[in-house]
Amino acid sequence: MKWDLSDFYAEDWFDVLRQMDIAIAVTDASGDFIFCNEKYVSVCRYNTIGLTPENIVGQNMRDILRKGNLDARQSAALLSAERRERVRSIFQAPLYKLVMSTSVPVMDKMGRVKYVVTIVQDENEVFRLTSTSEEVREMYTNYLEKNDQKLKERVIIVSEPMREILNQCLQVSNSDISVLLLGESGVGKDVISRLIYENSARRDRPFIALNCGAIPENLIESELFGYAPGAFTGASKSGKAGLFEAANTGTIMLDEIGDLSLPMQVKLLRVLENRQVTRIGSVRPIQVDFRLISATNKNLMKKVENGEFRKDLYYRINAFRITVPPLRDRLEDISALAAHYLAIYNLKYKINRNMTSEALQELTYYKWPGNIRELRNVMEQLAVLTKTDEIKPELVREVLYGEESVSGSDEPAVVVKRLIPLKEAVGLTERQILEMVKQKENSSYKAARILKVDQTTVLRKLKKYRINGFRD
């Protein structure tokens, strides 16, 4: 039996498309929406700006993009109508959502564009395709190249836990309530803080971040509060504004707040209560208006119980708490993050690496004690160390578990040219090996794994030989 499709009306087709688990829209040659389904609105996050499949019909694509602060020049549908050909485009939808649109023109009998059909895929699919499609891989690399640095450190929202984090960020972003970010080192708390800031009413105001654990105790007070002219030996004659003043009308993010000493906690609490800072060496209070985001990988409640963190400060900064899960608890994000960082290093080193599905699988078996920070370092090593454009599982295992030879050659690892005291020889050898591994890895944890000793041993030797440049 031969079907007569002319009897199958457009509304019948739309009924079918409404039921499909695929994001699809139909526009006319001028960009006016004729149809879209719920999935399309959801994947593009147009629902965050009040759009529905019903009220979007009749509106023009250019107006919709303008509402989402997007550039119409990125629209695959508009480009497809203009060029009369299939167009693919990767762009950033509202609220950090990365999507890829594929638009195809439908021509009438006169060869004119009648409709444009657009299918949109979310970032999970985009990242999956970067491993199998050279076209998508090049598109994503080009996208990163054309956009600013902050997109290279963007929040990857693929797994359900990260979707929940996004919802929490949106829930709190438009208020001035203090936020406390909890999570292991390297999970991306700093990036989450920027997500909150960039979706807040203060997004056009300053964003100031300080890692409290990275500033010596004797300097952190002047960093936060500033100092008056001539306040101490070596102070600038003109004085200096502190970070709270710099963050005025904006947002300040205090990372590793659990590392603050008790005296500094008292001073911070006073600022939070009075919204005033007094520079070192001055008696004049300065009014400041800021939104506070704090972060720590410590158990603050336990520190409170141990008398190491003030209870009143804890409750002051803990008005809204977000716990960022470790990477091992969100496996879906691993392949997406791997693809994202591989694209960054392809761009940085002007290469074109991709990963086999088996290599990606190896990444999901690993526990990632260093979380996203460790994954980023691993992806850079894989991009640089592979001898072909395809990263294979054997190399992933070598980088993750240190199964390679430390010397990297068949030559003797240690060559003795003259007699010296044994203790001195051991010291020279240890120093050289640590300097050698430093060229490859600046993490004391990974250095310990490569050298097949525990991390405490590496840290002790680094201190003994005064070798800097490693992180925990």
Are 251 and 294 in contact, with CB atoms under 8 Å apart? Answer: no
For residue 184, give both structure tokens: 């292991």
pLDDT of residue 417: 60
> How many other C-beta atoms lie within 10 A of the C-beta of residue 260?
25
pLDDT of residue 406: 43
CA distances from 357 to 100, 387, 390, 416 (A): 21, 18, 11, 45
Are 33 and 50 in contact, with CB atoms under 8 Å apart? Answer: no
For residue 97, give both structure tokens: 């959502």
pLDDT of residue 426: 82
pLDDT of residue 411: 47
Q: Which helix (H) or strand (E) element contains residue 27?
A: strand 23-28
pLDDT of residue 381: 95
CA dist 27 and 56 (Å) reads 11
Going along the chain from its start, the domains and CATH numbers come out as: 10-129 (3.30.450.20), 160-323 (3.40.50.300), 327-401 (1.10.8.60), 411-472 (1.10.10)
CA dist 340 and 379 (Å) reads 10
pTM: 0.70
pLDDT of residue 145: 78
Return the ∠ at Cα 20 (arms to 14 and 26), rounded to 5°. Answer: 40
What residues contact 249, with CB distance under 8 A and at least 6 apart?
A: 202, 205, 206, 289, 290
The shares of helix, strand and coil residues in the chain, as percent rounded to the nearest 5, are: 50, 15, 35
Helices and strands, number each (H, E), in the chain: 21, 16
CA dist 431 and 454 (Å) reads 17
Candidates 280, 287, 246; CA nearest to 264 is: 280
For residue 450, give both structure tokens: 């490569």
Q: Which helix (H) or strand (E) element contains residue 253?
A: strand 251-255
pLDDT of residue 85: 95
Q: What is the pLDDT along the chain (472 residues), one digit of tens a residue?
A: 344 434 445 677 787 888 888 999 999 999 999 999 999 998 888 887 788 999 999 999 999 888 766 777 778 999 999 999 999 988 776 555 678 999 999 998 899 999 999 999 988 788 888 878 888 888 888 888 776 555 556 678 788 899 899 889 988 988 999 999 999 999 999 999 998 998 899 999 999 999 998 888 888 999 999 999 877 777 777 889 999 999 999 999 999 999 999 999 999 999 999 999 999 999 999 999 999 999 999 999 999 999 999 999 999 999 999 999 999 999 889 988 998 899 888 888 888 899 988 898 889 888 899 999 999 999 999 999 999 999 999 999 889 887 543 444 444 556 666 677 887 778 888 888 887 777 667 778 778 877 877 788 888 888 888 787 776 6
CA dist 40 and 123 (Å) reads 13
Ordered DSSP codes for 94-147: TTTEEEEEEEEEEE-TTS-EEEEEEEEEEHHHHHHHTTT-HHHHHHHHHHHHHS
For residue 181, give both structure tokens: 């970010």
Are 182 and 320 in contact, with CB atoms under 8 Å apart? Answer: no
